[in-house]
Amino acid sequence: MKKIAIIGAGVAGLTALQTLSKHGCSVTVFDKSRGSGGRLSSKKSGASSWDMGAQFMRAHTDEFRTQLKMWEADGWVAHWDVTPWAINGTQRTASPDDIDRYVGMPRMTGLSRKLLEAADDFITQTRIVETQFNSDSGTWSLTDEDGTEFGPFDELIINTPPQQALPLLPAESQLNEQVSGVHMLPCWTLLLGFENSLECAFDAAFVKSGPISWIARNNSKPGRDAREAWVIQANHEWSERKKDAPREQVQQELEEAFAIATGCTVAASDIWLHRWLYSLPANSSGLGALRDEAHNLTLCGDWCLKPSIEGAWLSGRAAANILTGTHHD
C-alpha cells in the first residue's frame, strides 16, 4: 500500500486525500494548526462565533457544481440564501444576482472535518520544518519543530501557501522557481459580536469605497449561532499598506468604516482582529498542481490554479489525479 504524506489540511490537500484514500493509499495529514481547514477558518471568542476566512463557496465549473450538490445532500454544506448589497460611501443598494452561495455546516470548518475522515492519521499542531528525500529508496521523511521525525513516505504532497512551501522543497527541485513567483495578498479581518441584532437592512455587502471590501452578518448563514456576529474584511490594497500598522489603529479604522457602511454605531461586545498574511494569491501557476517526478513530490493549493475554494478543490483533485493516473474531461 502506497504511503502518502500531505502537509497542510486545506481544501486542496483534503480533496487529494479523498481520491487517494479511494485508491487504497494510506494517507497521513499534517497541520500546524489545532484543526483542519486552513483558510476555511472559524473563530469563537466570548459569546460570539464567526467564519473568519472564506465566507462562502460558489461554482464556476460543472464539476464543482456537482460536488457542492453532493455535499449539500450529505449535509456537509448548505445553501446560503442571501441577497448581497453594494455600498459606495453612504449609498447602499440591493444588488441581487443568481449566484448560488454555499457554506460549510455548521461552520466553514464543518466541511474540512468531514473531508478529513478519510485520513489514516491527522497529526495536528505539528509544523513541518524540514523534509528529507532519500534518493536511494525514493522515500521522504519529515521533521517537525520539536525534532520529531515522521516517515518514510512514498510520496509527499505539500498543500501550504507558496511562502510556506519554499523552505520544504529540495534545493535542486525545478519547482523552486515556479513557487517563488507567486505572490500572496494580505487581508485584515475584524470580527464583531453584539448583544442585540443590528438594525441593518442587509446581511452581506460588497463595499466599493474605503478600507473594507466585504461585510456579512455571520448569523444570517444557515446553522450558525443566533447571536449577532459580523465579519468585516479589508480590501487587499489597504491591507497591504497597513500590513505592519499597530493593531489598535487597524481596528479603529475598520470599526469606523463598518459604522459608515452599515449606518450602525452600536458598540460591539466581542471583538477579534486577525491579519491574514497569505489570504489569496495575486497570481497563480495556472497548472492545477505542480509535479517534481524525480522527487515523488506534488504541490497543490489555490495558488496553483485560482484564488477560491473551487480553485483549491480543482487543484487537490489534479494532484491526486497525477498520483493515481486518473484523467477527468
Ligand X SMILES: Cc1cc2nc3c(=O)[nH]c(=O)nc-3n(C[C@H](O)[C@H](O)[C@H](O)COP(=O)(O)OP(=O)(O)OC[C@H]3O[C@@H](n4cnc5c(N)ncnc54)[C@H](O)[C@@H]3O)c2cc1C
Question: Residue numbers of the site for ligand X (CB under 6 A)?
Answer: 7-13, 30-33, 38-40, 53-57, 127-128, 159-161, 164, 187, 189, 233, 276, 279-280, 301-302, 307-309, 311-312
Q: Kindly state the smallest distance separating residue 230's Cβ from ligand X, in Å.
A: 14
Nearer to ligand X, 106 or 266 (CB): 106
For residue 239, the minimal CB distance to ligand X (Å) is 9
Q: For ligand X, which is the closer residue by CB, 149 or 195? A: 149
User: Residue 73: left if φ>0, alpha if ψ -120 to 50, beta else—which one?
Assistant: alpha
Q: What is the DSSP letter of 300?
A: -
- Count CB-CB contacts under 10 A for residue 217: 21
Q: Closer CB to ligand X, residue 52 or residue 197?
A: 52
Burial 278-312 (b: 16+ CB within 10 A, else e): bbbbeebbeebbbbbeebbbbbbbbbbbbbbbbbb
CB of 302 to ligand X, least distance (A): 3
Provide the minimum distance between the beta carbon of 310 and ligand X in the complex, in angstroms, as a whole number.
6
Total residue length of the chain:
329
The least distance separating ligand X from the CB of residue 195, rounded to whole angstroms, comes to 26
Toward ligand X, which CB reaches closer, 64 or 194?
64
- Say how far apart CA 306 and CA 132 lie, in whole Å: 29
When the beta carbons of 127 and 266 are compared against ligand X, the nearer one is 127
Distance from the first to the final alpha carbon of the chain: 28
Task: Using the minimum distance from each CB to ligand X, give the nearer residue, 30 or 258.
Answer: 30
CA distance 8 to 4: 13
> Smallest gap, in angstroms, from Cβ of residue 136 to ligand X?
25
Alpha helix (H) ranges present in 102-246?
Answer: 108-116, 162-165, 175-180, 236-241
